[in-house]
Structure formats: C-alpha cells, structure tokens
C-alpha cells in the first residue's frame, strides 16, 4: 500500500473479490433508485440499516440474490473477510484490496458511507461477524466456503470492534477494528472530462433511400478524461468520446471523411475504416500532424458492421487510448426494425499504476506490448454503462446492440447475463443469415457483431465479457428493463406458486 489511509477503502471498493463473493448482491446494489422502488424499499439510511436485521446468507457460488439496500453502489465500501487460523489463533483474514492477506485488518471507512462486508468461512467451524455499537451483523456461516453479506451505514464516527459472536471465538482471536473517519470521503474528482459515449447516442436507421454522398466529420482530440472515480487518463479520441461517433451509411454510399487533428494535440493521428477498400482503409491518406486536416473518400461496397480506428504508429497505443468506433453499412432496405438500438465497444488500458489506483494514470508501453492490461472497459471508463449510462428498455421491446471491440488485444466473449440473443450477425456479417438462439458471442479485436433480442421480462440484465476476471477490472454494463418481474418466465419459488 503506497497511499494514505484515506485511499484505502477506495482500493477495497474496487476489491476484485466483490464479484466472486457477492456478485448478485453487488449488482443489485448498483441499480438505480428506480429499481430500488420496484423492490419496495424505502430509500436512505433506515432501509440500509433495516437490512442488517435480516442478513442474507449467500452460498459461495453466489447464485442466491441478496436483498438490495436502496442505495447507490457508488457509495458502497466493500470488504471481504475470510475466517482462518493464523499463529494458532482463530482470525479473520482480509481478501482483496488493501487488506488482502492481513490478519484481523482494520477497516477504514468514512462517515455516512454504506459499508458492505462479505464473510467467507475459510475452515468450516461456525462463525459470524458483528460490529460493536452498530445494529449490524452477518448471519452465521457454517461449512467451508459458506458466505454471508451484510451492509450498514457508518453513521457513528470512531473505532469500533468487529468480532465473532460464537462463544469463545472473540477471545480466541477473532476481533478487529472498523475505523469510521469523520466527514465524507474527499472528492477526488478532477477536471477530467467525461469521455463516455452514451450507448443510446447513435443515428437512426437509414432504411429505404438511394445511395448518396455521406460526409463524416472526425476530429482527433487528446484530453484528460475520467477513467474512474478520482482516476483519470489522457485519452486520445475521435470527437472527444470513446468510442468515437457511430457512423451509419448504406451500401453503395460514397463516404467522404473529413479528419482534423486538433491544434493542441501532441501526436499525429489518422483513421482506418474497415468498411473501406483501399490503402490502409484510408490511413495512408489521413496521417495528419496537430492542426492539420485531411479528406479521404471511399465507396461502401459491402454491408456489415465494421470497426474504424486510428492507424498511426504505434497503432496499439493509439487504439488503447480510445481511438476506435463503429461504422454500420446497412444492406439495401436496412436491417429488420427493432425498438431500441445501442452502441457499445470494449477496449483495454495498460497503465503503469495498478487497477484501482487514484490519480492520473500513465500508459505503460511494456505492459501494452506484452498484453498485460490493467483496465477493461465498455465505452471508455469504469462504470460507463453501470453508473453513468446504463442501457434502458421496457419489457416486450426488441433490443439491438451494435457491439465492437477496439481492443487493441483482447477478444471479447460478449454475453448479457439473463438473456439469450435471438439473432446474432456473427462476425458482423449481414450478408449471411443471422444465427438464432445464442448465449455468448466471440468478438475479436478490430471486429464487431450485431445482437438482437426481445426482452420478455423486466429486471436487471448485465452486459459482460464472459471472461469474467475482466469484470474485476472494470468491465460490466447494465441493461435495466422496466416491466413486470414476477411471472411464468421466471419467478422465485416452486412451479405453480406464482401469485399464491
Ligand atoms: Cu491516433
């Protein structure tokens, strides 16, 4: 740990173990206030504390959904403790974040924060964890790998013991401190720009019209952008967003690309359209220094969904920094109509600083060329599609996601948790018939796909790369669907119990 204690909980908040231990609970926590209302929770502190009175034991496989406090995940400070034996004593051992591996770690939180504690049984004996002077306790975990999650709001400032209430266990060593510091966590937000491309921001279908000349305006802009709360990165972008603008044309169109490199750029930039046929996909004609402009024109010969990206050496550096986007070349007559379309792209960042560090991140060239990513991102930042721009839809609607991978290196196993793709335009081909009934789609770097699905049921759906370790490094998005949730398609309890 190389930072002050104030930053400690932040590291823990990004604790990778949160997904493994309390995936369902953590996901629920992140839901918008509207979702909380649907769960009939009052908002605010009282509800969160009320939850502690009824802790929910979760099996270690995380399949059971915990009750969700009506607060924002944004504010949750998460700790994971595993019971064990150290030096002949019974102890709690920190898992993940700054407390990783520590015996009876001191848990640093701020006044007013929602604190979530995950307890994992590490050796099999009966245990729990109780916070002194707070109405907060876990349920008892019995058996190896049993786990429990509870949460409470740290309303009282000071140092309080946490301990195991099973007779004799506190005395045997199962005791630590939770330190509630006065005042809110320092707002680390900087002057960093919001570089997230809203996934709902894309032009509508073209449909029936004859081919024409379509002018595309791109500006390459280097700017300090928000990577995560209190964390920034100097992105290189098309039009200040990641991904760049969604370009939509039809087959037979003439695409006239005007690219301008902002005068305050440091680097030269360019653009390579995978939808184009010709030298460098246009990159050979668009290598421009700061302040320069170039124009390249190409025929959209083949329909499909294609990536475009900067192709200035080192190309991997330009791509990782955010220089990618999608161009849809519609087939004649367009794609089948759907109710909602979304635009999502995946990329990864290679920073000197480990994932979760606060401050301004630096690109690490050695990590880049050895493909050791620190961050995996949808639409440019951690939380882009969870905290700031979730996808919204209504039950009964058909949804289409144009999904591309900028990369530069990692293939995505794109999946929406809780849904099945009705149609997949595999590898972005719209000339081949779409696949039907698909769970997970492979999307290579520099590749894209189109997935369509009807949402039959309200609820929370989660966009992931099913290489789920990447979810620990920033990669997740929410599709929040308004509509009835308890129905024949899925409901809690046995068959035939609905409405009884
Ligand atoms: Cu570039």
Query: Ligand 1 centroid to 346 CA: how many Å?
Result: 17
Sign of the dihedral defined by the CA atoms of residues 95, 99, 104, 108, in that order: negative
Query: Ligand 1 centroid to 338 CA: how many Å?
Result: 34
pLDDT band at 156 (very low <50, low <70, confident <90, very high): confident
CA-nearest of 41, 70, 66 to 54 is: 66
Domain region containing 146? 5-181
Q: Give me the percent of the chain exceeding a pLDDT of 90.
A: 69
Whether 318 has a binding-site annotation, put simply, is yes
CA-nearest of 132, 88, 97, 134 to 118 is: 97
Does residue 102 sit within a domain? yes
pLDDT band at 181 (very low <50, low <70, confident <90, very high): confident
Q: pLDDT at position 204, please? A: 96
Tokens of 297: 């024109």
Which of the listed residues 162, 181, 200 is the one where a domain comes to its end? Answer: 181
Are 375 and 465 within one domain? yes
Are 14 and 120 within one domain? yes
Are 252 and 396 within one domain? yes
Show Cβ contacts of residue 51 under 8 Å, excluding neighbours closer than 6 positions.
67, 69, 150, 151, 152
Query: Ligand 1 centroid to 147 CA: how many Å?
Result: 47
Judged against a pLDDT cut of 70, whether residue 71 lies above it is answered with: no
CB-CB contact of 339 with 212 (8 Å): no
pLDDT band at 180 (very low <50, low <70, confident <90, very high): confident
Are 157 and 204 within one domain? no
Does residue 141 sit within a domain? yes
Helix (H) or strand (E) holding 10: helix 8-13
Number of separate domains in the chain: 2
CB-CB contact of 456 with 397 (8 Å): no
Query: Ligand 1 centroid to 304 CA: how many Å?
Result: 24
For residue 52, what is the domain's CATH number? 2.60.40.420
Judged against a pLDDT cut of 60, whether residue 2 lies above it is answered with: no
Q: pLDDT at position 55, please? A: 36
pLDDT band at 499 (very low <50, low <70, confident <90, very high): low
How far is 340 from 11, CA to CA, in rounded Å? 36
Whether 490 has a binding-site annotation, put simply, is no
Query: Ligand 1 centroid to 314 CA: how many Å?
Result: 9
Does residue 116 sit within a domain? yes
Are 442 and 466 within one domain? yes
Q: Is 341 helix (H, G, I), strand (E, B) or coil?
A: strand
Are 28 and 171 within one domain? yes
Query: Who wins on pLDDT, 7 or 153?
Result: 153
Query: Ligand 1 centroid to 321 CA: how many Å?
Result: 8
Does residue 49 sit within a domain? yes
pTM of the entire predicted model:
0.66
**Residues lining ligand 1 (ion), CB within 5 A?**
269, 310, 312, 318, 323
Query: Who wins on pLDDT, 96 or 320?
Result: 320
Tokens of 21: 């231990």
Query: Ligand 1 centroid to 385 CA: how many Å?
Result: 24
């Amino acid at each position: 740990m190389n930072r002050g204690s104030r930053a400690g909980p932040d590291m823990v908040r990004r604790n990778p173990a949160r997904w493994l231990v309390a995936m369902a609970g953590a996901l629920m926590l992140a839901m918008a206030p509207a979702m909380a209302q649907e769960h009939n929770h009052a908002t605010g502190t009282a509800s969160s504390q009320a939850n502690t009175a009824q802790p929910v034991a979760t099996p270690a496989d995380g399949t059971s959904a915990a009750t969700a406090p009506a607060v924002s995940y944004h504010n949750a400070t998460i700790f994971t403790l595993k019971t064990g034996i150290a030096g002949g004593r019974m102890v709690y051992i920190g898992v993940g974040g700054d407390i990783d591996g520590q015996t009876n770690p001191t848990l640093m939180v701020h006044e007013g924060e929602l604190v979530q504690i995950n307890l994992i049984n590490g050796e099999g004996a009966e245990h729990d964890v109780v916070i002194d002077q707070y109405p907060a306790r876990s349920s008892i975990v019995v058996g190896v790998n049993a786990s429990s999650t509870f949460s409470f709001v740290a309303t009282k400032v000071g140092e309080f013991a946490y301990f195991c209430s099973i007779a004799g266990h506190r005395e045997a060593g199962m005791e630590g401190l939770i330190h509630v510091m006065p005042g809110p966590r320092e707002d680390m937000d900087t002057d960093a720009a919001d570089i997230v491309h809203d996934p709902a921001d894309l032009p509508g279908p073209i449909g029936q019209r004859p081919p024409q000349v379509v002018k595309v305006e791109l500006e390459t802009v280097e700017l300090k952008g928000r990577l995560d709360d209190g964390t920034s990165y100097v992105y290189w972008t098309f039009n200040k967003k990641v991904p760049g603008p969604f370009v939509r044309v039809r087959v037979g169109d003439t695409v006239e690309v005007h690219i301008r490199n902002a005068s305050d750029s440091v680097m030269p930039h360019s653009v390579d359209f995978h939808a184009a046929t010709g030298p460098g996909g246009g990159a050979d004609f668009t290598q421009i220094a700061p302040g320069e402009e170039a124009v390249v024109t190409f025929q959209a010969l083949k329909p499909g969904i294609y990536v475009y990206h900067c192709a200035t050496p080192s190309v991997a550096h330009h791509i990782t920094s955010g220089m990618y986007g999608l161009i849809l070349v519609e087939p004649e007559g367009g794609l089948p109509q759907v109710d909602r379309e979304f635009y999502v792209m995946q990329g990864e960042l290679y920073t000197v600083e480990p994932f979760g560090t606060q401050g301004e991140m630096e690109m690490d060239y050695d990590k880049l060329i050895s493909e050791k990513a620190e961050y995996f991102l949808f639409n440019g930042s951690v939380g882009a599609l969870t905290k700031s721009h979730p996808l919204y839809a209504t039950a009964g609607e058909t949804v289409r996601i144009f999904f591309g991978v900028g990369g530069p290196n990692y293939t995505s196993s794109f999946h929406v948790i809780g849904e099945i793709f009705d149609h997949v335009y595999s590898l972005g081909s719209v000339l081949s018939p779409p696949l039907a009934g698909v769970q997970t789609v492979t999307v290579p770097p520099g590749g894209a796909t189109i997935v369509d699905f009807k949402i039959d049921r309200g609820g929370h759906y989660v966009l992931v790369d099913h290489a789920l370790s990447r979810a620990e490094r920033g990669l997740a998005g929410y599709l929040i669907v308004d509509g009835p949730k308890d129905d024949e398609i899925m409901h809690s309890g046995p068959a035939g119990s609905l409405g009884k």
